[in-house]
Structure 1
Amino acid sequence: MSRDHRWRTLAAYDRHREKVREPVAEQPSEEHRPESSSLPDDVWEKFVEDSERDIRASAPKEPSARARMVTERLRAMDEAQARAAAGGKRRTGGKRRTAPPARPDGWRASPPLRVLERPASRRRRIWSVAGIVVAVALAVVVVNPSAALSWLPGSLGEDETPAAADATPLAPETGRPGAAPSDAPAGTPTRAKPYAGSPAARWEAGADAIRPPAAKAVGGVPADRIRAALNGTKEFLVAANLDPAVLKGERPVKALDLVDPAEKEYLADLRDALREPTEKNDPVWTFTRFDPAEVELAGEVRVRGRMTVEPVKGTAGRAVIKADYTFVYPMARAGGGDDEVSRAVVRRTVEVEAVDPARFQAAEGHIWITDVNGEISNDDCRDGDGVIRPQFFADRHRSSEPSGPRRDPYDRSRSLDGAADCGVVTRT
């Protein structure tokens, strides 16, 4: 075969190959054969056989019944494992208000500002933990026997992890974090080690963890007024979330006395909630309270957060203090007979307005609260009982199967805005 003839034969073969790249419904026929008679019959037949074999090999095949059954079973197992690893229910609720309360003539004579009211701004989010206990317990025993033994009292339950004993305290928070904390000591919480397994092991404890920033003039408000509002905001947070009497369900007298008396409707709303809690008006939206007949504090309260000052746009002589803090409470069953500890995680945001006394009237020794928001993790997901009820191991066993989106209560990188609902926390 001459070189020229060989070239023409391969060119015809290539032209036909370009045609059969497109999908075809029927097998190649003699009509598709190139007009050129220079292609030998045995080459053409070999080409047709190869094309048919390639088409059959590339055609999609429907999976067998057994393959479909195995795939479905694996998918169901993955979903069950994910539910067991995360835990329980979540509840959120909220209120917002746009109209200010009645006040004397000339009292903060400025454009309307956001103030709380019964139908709207004290949003409460409550996230509870409930899991498939048997599956989780078996998994812990198989994967990490030491963690399982930490549930037991005495030396068998002691956590010898160096990170738990030598946790370096975190530096104060100066801005919104970029992600949830990933570092936490190993182990299961007990009365001796209430923060085992929690990022709060490295957090500061009590009122000292709430540090107002240095006061300076902002938005036309003098530095001394900013300082008074910052200190008042800290006092309110401490009185509402750290006072031992309030944590035991007693009346938060000091916190109520700090609120400006001119916020009559807001104060009446809070007093109604304390006197007779309802689903729409529950005091835990503002105050951290537990039932002393059920639980008791098993360690110091860990706190982390920040406080900032911003001018109020569009109005000279007004600034707003924004406080965002997370409180972690290690709780045990009342009576001391049980070594199990269950942590409740409560995040609060409070906004307090500071004003220039030369422009606006203000009550000395009080704060003007413009917004309160919150999120409670590891509760029984019920509104209207007036207290937080942490869920223990047995409670999770009796609870329903977890559902809803998952949240990390230690993730301070996210805001608290969102719809009211009940969902799942990934850890406490």
Structure 2
Amino acid sequence: MSRGGTSIPDDEWERFLRESEAGSPGAPEEPSARARMVTRRLQEEPGRPEAWRTYAPARRRGKGWYVFGLAVAVVLLIAVFAAPGRIPGLSDGGGTADTTPLAAESERPDGPPAAGGSDQEPTPAEPFRGSPAERWSDGAAGIHLPQARATGWMSEAEVARALERTRDFLVASSLDSAVLSGEKPEKAIALVNPHQTDVRAYLKRAFTAPDRENDPLLLFSRFRSAEVRPVGDVVRTRGRISFREGEKGAVRVSADVSYVYPVRRASGNDDEVARVIVRRETVVNWDDPEKIVTEPGTFSIVSYKLDTTNGGCDVHDGYLHPAFRVDRTGAASDDGRSVDPYDRSGPIEDRQREDGRCDTATRS
């Protein structure tokens, strides 16, 4: 069909016929021969074409998992470039040591930590490399505090404060940089009940004439700054604080904490890093002032126990004395037991010896 001598394209006729079938106004009552031919051809086709506005593509299953997997892959790539040592198999030595931070120690572990990566030597850049302390927390963050509850003469809020103050004592006695450099731990001593005369006498002798019975290391960590200096400003810790009701309604607080100190020689250009591992169990009473003579904000020391590794064997001058490689070369064996200084699964008294002999550490 033509209008004004111009032929109408087939696709225009097809659209016109579809609109006519739908009842569009103005559709011709009697289509021409060409219209009937096109109509017959459309009827013979297997199906009518769908309008593009109603096209519904098939649903792609797993699209959400695809996006999630892509996001995970991006995160892993970032992690690899940002901290390759935390991805198993990508550390400098190609080992498989797990460096994922551990959850807080809320109770005594069942056994020693795994020995993965223990063949890797510490470096000034990575002073905890090759040891379980790679997964421990920094400073006070590694000392777990339990949920407070009303106990003895104290309310819940008072118990919470007593637990925090006990941890403050541990920080001031074993993590304070000035104390570690050999200064007297004045802040820590200020938290001890001044009316506890036996402890006051011990503290006085410990800092004037230290010996086996009056050794400041029983409560405090100290190095001679002329001998060693710390590597970095981080001490790794792992331990926990617990509490119960004691005698005369006191709140008895027990702390069992291990500290790892990386140090280097104070003089020379030697890059060797030595680690000193100290574990202490300290028990204190927050006494009822109506029953025990005390001062507000202070506690009474009940007991203290110490176990050290590479801190100097049978030396009681008030300082830790780490041994370096040259110090150990050719040294005679003491034929002591082999112990793992990172094993916190047993009580500290199992590690203490009365014969004065030194044990051999299985790792440092």
**What is the TM-score with the length of structure 1 in the denominator?**
0.59
- Residue correspondence of structure 1 range 368-387 to structure 2 within 5 A: 368-387=300-319
- 2:268 and 2:101 map into 1 onto residues whose CA distance is 29
Deviations 1:203-227 (A, max 9, x none): 0011222232222112453223322
* SS of residue in 2 equivalent to 1:275: coil
Is residue 2:128 matched to residue 1:195? yes
> What amino acid sits opposite 1:329 in the alignment?
Y
**CA apart distance, 1:318:** 2.2
Equivalent residue number for residue 227 of structure 1: 160
- 2:227 and 2:248 map into 1 onto residues whose CA distance is 50
Equivalent residue number for residue 264 of structure 1: 197
Gaps of 5+ in 1: 1-157
- 1:253 and 1:351 map into 2 onto residues whose CA distance is 19
Equivalent residue number for residue 302 of structure 1: 236
Is residue 2:260 matched to residue 1:324? no
Note if contact 1:248-1:290 (Cα within 8 Å) is conserved in structure 2: yes
Equivalent residue number for residue 67 of structure 2: none
* SS of residue in 2 equivalent to 1:346: strand
Note if contact 1:190-1:340 (Cα within 8 Å) is conserved in structure 2: yes
- Residue correspondence of structure 1 range 344-363 to structure 2 within 5 A: 344-357=276-289, 359-363=291-295
* SS of residue in 2 equivalent to 1:347: strand
Is residue 2:169 matched to residue 1:236? yes
> What amino acid sits opposite 1:385 in the alignment?
D
- 2:276 and 2:294 map into 1 onto residues whose CA distance is 36
Equivalent residue number for residue 427 of structure 1: 363
**What is the TM-score with the length of structure 2 in the denominator?**
0.69
Which of 265, 268, 273 in structure 1 is aligned with 2:206?
A: 273
Report which of the two structures shows the higher radius of gyration computed on alpha carbons. Answer: 2
Is residue 2:302 matched to residue 1:366? no
- Residue correspondence of structure 1 range 95-134 to structure 2 within 5 A: none
- Structure number with greater CO (CA < 8 Å, separation at least 6) is 1
* SS of residue in 2 equivalent to 1:350: strand
**CA apart distance, 1:360:** 4.7
Deviations 1:178-204 (A, max 9, x none): 000014435111112211210000000
Which of 269, 286, 298 in structure 2 is aligned with 1:337?
A: 269
Note if contact 1:352-1:370 (Cα within 8 Å) is conserved in structure 2: yes
**CA apart distance, 1:359:** 5.0
Is residue 2:181 matched to residue 1:245? no
Equivalent residue number for residue 329 of structure 2: 397
* SS of residue in 2 equivalent to 1:258: coil
The change in CA–CA distance for 1:248 and 1:197 in structure 2 (over 3 A counts) is same
When the two chains are superposed, the root-mean-square deviation of aligned CA atoms in Å is 2.0
The change in CA–CA distance for 1:364 and 1:163 in structure 2 (over 3 A counts) is farther
> What amino acid sits opposite 1:281 in the alignment?
N
> What amino acid sits opposite 1:169 in the alignment?
P
Is residue 2:137 matched to residue 1:204? yes
**CA apart distance, 1:358:** 5.4
The change in CA–CA distance for 1:318 and 1:280 in structure 2 (over 3 A counts) is closer
Note if contact 2:221-2:320 (Cα within 8 Å) is conserved in structure 1: yes
**CA apart distance, 1:282:** 1.8
Q: Give the length in aligned residue pairs.
A: 268
> What amino acid sits opposite 2:197 in the alignment?
K
Note if contact 1:216-1:223 (Cα within 8 Å) is conserved in structure 2: yes
Aligned identity (percent) is: 40
> What amino acid sits opposite 2:212 in the alignment?
E
Note if contact 2:277-2:311 (Cα within 8 Å) is conserved in structure 1: no
Equivalent residue number for residue 84 of structure 1: none
**CA apart distance, 1:367:** 1.6
- 1:307 and 1:280 map into 2 onto residues whose CA distance is 25
- Residue correspondence of structure 1 range 288-299 to structure 2 within 5 A: 288-299=221-232
